[in-house]
């Protein structure tokens, strides 16, 4: 019991000590604790304000973005239509240019074919009509000259008859000169066309020209030029056939390429490679009863 009383007394003594007034240091600690609590509240309030401001900014940006997307969705069809219209205009322009170019190309092809046909027709006229007529007129001129000389020598003709014969002779000479001039003009045109095709180095066009002008003075030249180009481009079989055809078509010495074709055939059959040869555009002019064909180079 005595011990219990002492402990109770001691607790009452401790309680009395705590109820004593606080010192200055204790008050300072208590104030700092209260100030820290107030600072925490202020920081929390500021944090919430910043968060609210960021949230408001985010909401505004989202709304602006949505509005921009809506405007873009509304403007997208119109812009697409504008782009499609521009593209269609360009496509139409390109189509028109292509059509015009195709039309021009076809017109040039038709013109080329027409010119080729005209030249070929003129060449055929020279071969089939003008040359025989020129030969006939020339033979008549020679015969008439001989008759005039013979009759003048015999004295069987009067002065008037001789004058008539001389006038007829002059007419015949004029006709011969005219026919020769036409022939020379056509021959020059054919030669120019052949040289132009040779410069283009197209085997198909050269071969076609040879086929359509085979019976002209430049037939062998065209065939040889086509065969040479085939040989150079390693179309050996076609070249060999064409060389052999030229020998069969023009086997006489009037063919200026006779020896050249024989040499080329030997080289091809010997499997030798192509070697360039300096070939000129020579005429094929076999002799006729009325004399040689007129030369366009003179």
Cα 280 → chain centroid: 31
Tell me the backbone φ, ψ of residue 24, rounded to 5 degrees: -65, -40
Given CA atoms 112, 115, 119, 121 in this order, what sign does their dihedral have?
A: positive
Supply the pLDDT for residue 112.
64
- Give the pLDDT score at 14: 47
Q: What is the DSSP letter of 119?
A: H
Report yes or no: 188 and 297 within 8 Å, Cβ to Cβ: no
Tens of pLDDT, residue by residue, the chain (298 residues): 444 444 544 454 444 444 445 566 666 666 666 666 666 777 777 888 877 777 877 888 888 888 878 777 777 677 667 777 778 887 888 778 777 767 766 666 666 666 666 566 666 656 665 566 667 767 777 777 776 676 655 555 556 666 777 777 787 787 887 778 887 888 888 899 999 999 999 999 999 999 999 989 999 999 999 999 999 999 999 999 999 999 999 999 899 999 999 999 999 999 999 998 889 989 988 764 334 445 555 4
Plot region of 10 (φ>0 → left; ψ -120 to 50 → alpha; else → beta): alpha
What pLDDT sits at residue 208?
A: 95
The 10s digit of each residue's pLDDT in 257-278 is 999 999 999 999 999 999 988 8
State the pLDDT at residue 111. Answer: 62
Q: What is the pLDDT of residue 274?
A: 92
pLDDT value at position 8? 46
Confidence (pLDDT) at 55: 80
Helices (H) and strands (E) in the chain, counts: 8, 0
3-state helix, strand, coil in the chain (%, to 5): 80, 0, 20
């Amino acid at each position: 019991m005595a011990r219990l009383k002492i402990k109770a007394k001691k607790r009452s003594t401790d309680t009395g000590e705590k109820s004593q007034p606080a010192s200055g240091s204790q008050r300072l600690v208590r104030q700092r604790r209260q100030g820290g609590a107030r600072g925490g509240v202020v920081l929390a309030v500021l944090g919430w304000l910043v968060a609210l401001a960021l949230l408001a900014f985010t909401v505004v940006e989202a709304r602006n973005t949505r509005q921009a997307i809506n405007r873009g969705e509304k403007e997208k069809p119109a812009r697409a239509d504008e782009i499609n219209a521009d593209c269609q205009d360009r496509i139409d322009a390109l189509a028109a240019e292509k059509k015009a170019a195709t039309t021009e190309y076809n017109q040039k092809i038709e013109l080329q074919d027409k010119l080729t046909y005209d030249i070929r027709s003129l060449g055929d006229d020279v071969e089939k009509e003008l040359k025989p007529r020129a030969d006939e007129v020339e033979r008549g001129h020679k015969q008439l000259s001989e008759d005039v000389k013979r009759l003048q020598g015999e004295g069987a003709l009067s002065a008037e008859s001789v004058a008539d014969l001389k006038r007829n002779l002059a007419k015949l000479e004029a006709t011969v000169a005219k026919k020769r001039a036409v022939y020379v003009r056509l021959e020059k045109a054919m030669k120019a066309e052949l040289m132009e095709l040779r410069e283009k180095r197209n085997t198909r066009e050269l071969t076609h020209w040879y086929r359509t002008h085979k019976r002209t003075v430049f037939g062998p030249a065209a065939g040889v030029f086509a065969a040479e180009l085939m040989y150079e481009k390693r179309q050996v079989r076609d070249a060999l056939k064409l060389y052999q055809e030229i020998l069969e078509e023009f086997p006489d010495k009037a063919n200026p390429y006779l020896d050249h074709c024989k040499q080329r055939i030997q080289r091809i059959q010997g499997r030798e490679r192509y070697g360039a040869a300096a070939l000129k555009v020579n005429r094929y002019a076999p002799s006729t009863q009325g004399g040689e064909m007129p030369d366009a180079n003179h």
